[in-house]
Copies of this chain bind each other. A is one copy, B any other.
Amino acid sequence: MPRITHVEVTDVRFPTSLSMDGSDAMNKDGDYSAAYVALRTDDPAVSGFGFTFTIGRGNDVCVLAAQRRAEPLIGREVAAVVGDLGGTYRDLASDSQLRWLGPDKGVEHLAMAAVMNAVWDLAARVADKPLWRLLVEMPAADLVDACDFTYLSDAITREEAIAMLESTRAGRDERLALLEQHGYPCYTTSAGWLGYSDDKLRRLCAEAVAEGYDHIKLKVGADLEDDVRRCTIAREVIGWDRHLMIDANQVWDVPQAIEWVDRLAEFKPLWIEEPTSPDDILGHATIRRAVAPIGVATGEHGMNRVLFKQMFQAEALDFCQLDSARLASINEIVPVYLMARKFGVPVCPHAGGVGLCELVQHLSIFDFLAVSATLENRVTEFVDHLHEHFVDPCIVEDGAYRLPTTAGYSAEMHAASVAAYAYPDGAYWSSSAQVAG
């Protein structure tokens, strides 16, 4: 019976700012990074991997927080940790001194996400299943009891949650067969980063169409005339039968968001993403009423389940873009999916960064099989960067994620990548040509 013997947390940073990959109106020069957690046991064949995603500076702060947060796991039996995933979560989350630093937000919550992502990866490996299958095959009551419903009882109860999961058993095999054949539909953001030239934008949009994408997303919000020109180029290339989404990455106040989106309405975007502060529930509701039928999407900075509860209650969202490395892993993500279904909001998870695509494919598959049971208005983000660093990278074909088949949460990085991009001492960063981030 293996025990967890130590926890390795590594500050891994990739120099994405050099190529303007990931550039948008708010995040001009991100170095895509991970506070990368490896739970090691006394059995060399048994480990769990997880991470939270950041964009460079401050990744060291998340590393320290994750080390501290994971310490109570050391010495525990693996069977006990993965045999009570709710208890493990509550035990780590309920540290009454660490709670003061949130609760449930910012660095400490990112650290919880990193550690619990590794715990769920470990659980799926022990069960010898890809995570999506572990979730789908868990008895509904067990999954619900692993969830954190604290502060949610005015929106959803344990009994409702169980009934919701059980109601989707009918047709699950057929839906699985559909996914095995066609994959889970995704869209690409790779074409539309703000730092790319018009020529590069035009070329990447054309490539995306050729690769089978029906949805393409552009970054907007830095300069209105630029946005008009870039949307014009995108529509010229993708036509009007495909969907165009726009993403402002939080640069606007509420009145400005309404005005700016109004100016871009002629391009008929499916959604405006992150029009304002990710904390502004009432602001999103105001914007949504003003810009309809353009949808409002947000969630990659959605800090916790209480925020999403209110987004649903206030009818502030058309698309929920929860983040797999910002919410505190499955224990908090599943309640958001369940509330989304109850309030009738499709979940289109945020991805990109480093490793987020590897994680969210499991979530979307779980959603279709066990929660929403529909693909209507659902499409999951895909960005074609940095997958080469993962042992079990996601596979996208014809605009859809193929089903992962390897046991775990697809979160393990190649040891060589971790070593090379460890900050500041890895081979890449310590070479004299690199400027410290």
Contact = CB atoms under 8 A, between A and B. Distances in A.
Interface of A: 26-31, 54-58, 60-62, 64-65, 68, 95-110, 150-154, 250, 253-256, 276-283, 286, 301, 303-304, 306-307, 309-310, 313-314, 437
Contact of A153 (B97, B105, B253): B253
When all copies of this chain in the complex are counted, the total is 2
A306 B277 contact: yes
A61 B56 contact: no
17 contacts: A26-B99, A28-B96, A30-B100, A54-B97, A56-B97, A57-B97, A58-B108, A61-B108, A101-B110, A106-B108, A151-B280, A151-B283, A153-B253, A154-B286, A279-B303, A281-B282, A283-B310
A253 B151 contact: yes
A54 B101 contact: yes
A256 B151 contact: no
A103 B249 CA distance: 12
Contacts of A106: 101-102, 105-109
Q: Say whether chain A's binding surface is mostly helix, strand, loop, or mixed.
A: loop
Contact of A64 (B60, B99, B255): B60
A70 B150 CA distance: 36
A351 to B, nearest CB: 15
A50 to B, nearest CB: 17
Contact of A100 (B54, B68, B152, B314): B54
Nearest to A276: B151
Contact of A105 (B97, B98, B303): B303
Contact of A101 (B61, B96, B307, B437): B61
B301 A103 contact: yes
A303 B106 CA distance: 10
A102 B278 CA distance: 10
Contacts of A303: 105, 279
A239 to B, nearest CB: 34
Contact of A279 (B27, B28, B304, B437): B304
A61 B65 contact: yes
The 6 tightest CB contacts between A and B, nearest first, are A106-B106, A107-B107, A56-B97, A57-B97, A154-B254, A151-B277
Contacts of A150: 253, 277
